[in-house]
Amino acid sequence: MKAVCFLFFLAGSFISSAQPTLKTKNIIIITTDGFRWQEVFTGADSLLITNEKYTADTSFTKQMYWDDSPEKRRKKLMPFFWNVIANKGQLYGNRFFNNRVNMKNPYKISYPGYNEILTGYADLFVTKNRPVENKNQNILEYLNTQPGYKGKVAAFTSWDIFPYIFNEYRSKFHVNSGYEMLADDSAILTHKINQVQETIKEKTGTRHDLLTYISASEYLQAHHPRVLFLGFGETDEEAHKGNYAAYLEKAAMADKMIGDLFSYIQSDTFYKNTTTIIITTDHGRGNTAGTWNTHSTFINGSGQTWLAMIGPDIIPLGEMKEEQQSYGNQIASTIALLLGEKFEHRAGKPIQLPVDGKDKIVSSNTLR
């Protein structure tokens, strides 16, 4: 086991008088819908990349993403994850080391998954992917009511159901989802994005992730929100189509966009060395060649997820290989505590994060 001690974020625990100072002032939460832990930690799946039912051009796709070594092929698929986060952050969920991340909700589909991540609560009454206003308070909504965050919270998502998951009208923070036109199109790039969106004739419920990312990036640079949610959706879309090559392509694109975002953050004095990025997914998928393209209560593997973090309070331990069980319902409270806030809306306890230095225990009682 690595020579580190643990920073236990446990409410009500004993606290020493000297506490470590958290450096995180801003949070970016990124989700890649329905992207399996298998591809994150081992790269392209040999049973799928060679199967013409799911990969039309197996030769080209293998040239792009295949290597006999799992460590090399995961780098080919997600170079930012494995060259940067693996060196400067932490990655949870490699089940080959019994390092597990799961969703608590029993449904293993998107709305219940995002509700769990954002509210910290696996609500048994949130069961379907329908445009129904979420009654549960989410972490973004909560932060938008706190001093220093009001009007500085935003969300950009590819999937057009997110405004209901956020309960946009009640939450009252900035949300842009699906092919919704961007506000303030006086900006040249924003105006161009709206023009592109208008030209897309066959719109689905999921906007192209690249458009979502460019929209979020433009807003980030113009308005400097302290909390940003960025929801990609095309990995799930392509998986449901049974197109494994496109699924890999969308995952590689997400990795590239996250890398581009990290590069910008480190170049902006507002965000540099004060911003933590948390990356995860809303559900897993089937873990066999016959079930990888779907997910539900009854499909094994659908509740298996993963988590990546990078930021000033995230000790650079890379791939976590210690036996550990984490859940999606712990993410909201982890976000709050990294920001020095409390979020106790039935949320799961924050994730135990390794930390360098002396043994110290930080409780939510010490945080503002």
Q: Is the pLDDT of residue 236 over 90?
A: yes
Mean pLDDT to the nearest integer, 79-92 = 98
Query: What would the two tokens of residue 260 be?
Result: 């581009």
Q: Residue 187's pLDDT is what?
A: 81
Q: Is the pLDDT of residue 357 over 80?
A: no
Strand, helix or coil for residue 203: coil
Mean pLDDT to the nearest integer, 47-65 = 98
Q: Residue 21's pLDDT is what?
A: 85
Q: Is the pLDDT of residue 20 over 80?
A: no
pTM equals 0.93
Q: Report the alpha-carbon angle 135-137-138, nearest 5.
A: 125
Which band of pLDDT confidence, cut at 50, 70 and 90, is reported for residue 10?
A: very low
The number of domains in the chain is 1
Give the residue from 22, 3, 33 showing the smallest Cα distance to 229: 33
Query: What would the two tokens of residue 258 be?
Result: 């996250």
Mean pLDDT to the nearest integer, 281-288 = 98
Asked if residues 259 and 79 have their Cβ atoms less than 8 Å apart, the reply is yes
Which band of pLDDT confidence, cut at 50, 70 and 90, is reported for residue 355?
A: low
Q: Is the pLDDT of residue 119 over 50?
A: yes
Residues of the domain holding 198: 5-366
Q: Residue 18's pLDDT is what?
A: 45
CATH number at 99 reads 3.40.720.10
Whole-number average pLDDT of the chain: 91
- Cα(270)–Cα(266) distance, integer angstroms: 9
Asked if residues 255 and 77 have their Cβ atoms less than 8 Å apart, the reply is yes
Which band of pLDDT confidence, cut at 50, 70 and 90, is reported for residue 356?
A: low
pLDDT in tens, 189-226: 899 999 999 999 999 999 999 999 999 999 999 999 99
Query: What would the two tokens of residue 62 be?
Result: 């293998």
Distance of CA 238 to the CA centre of its chain: 18
- Residue whose entry in the numeric block shows the structure tokens 């998954």: 113
Mean pLDDT to the nearest integer, 29-34 = 98
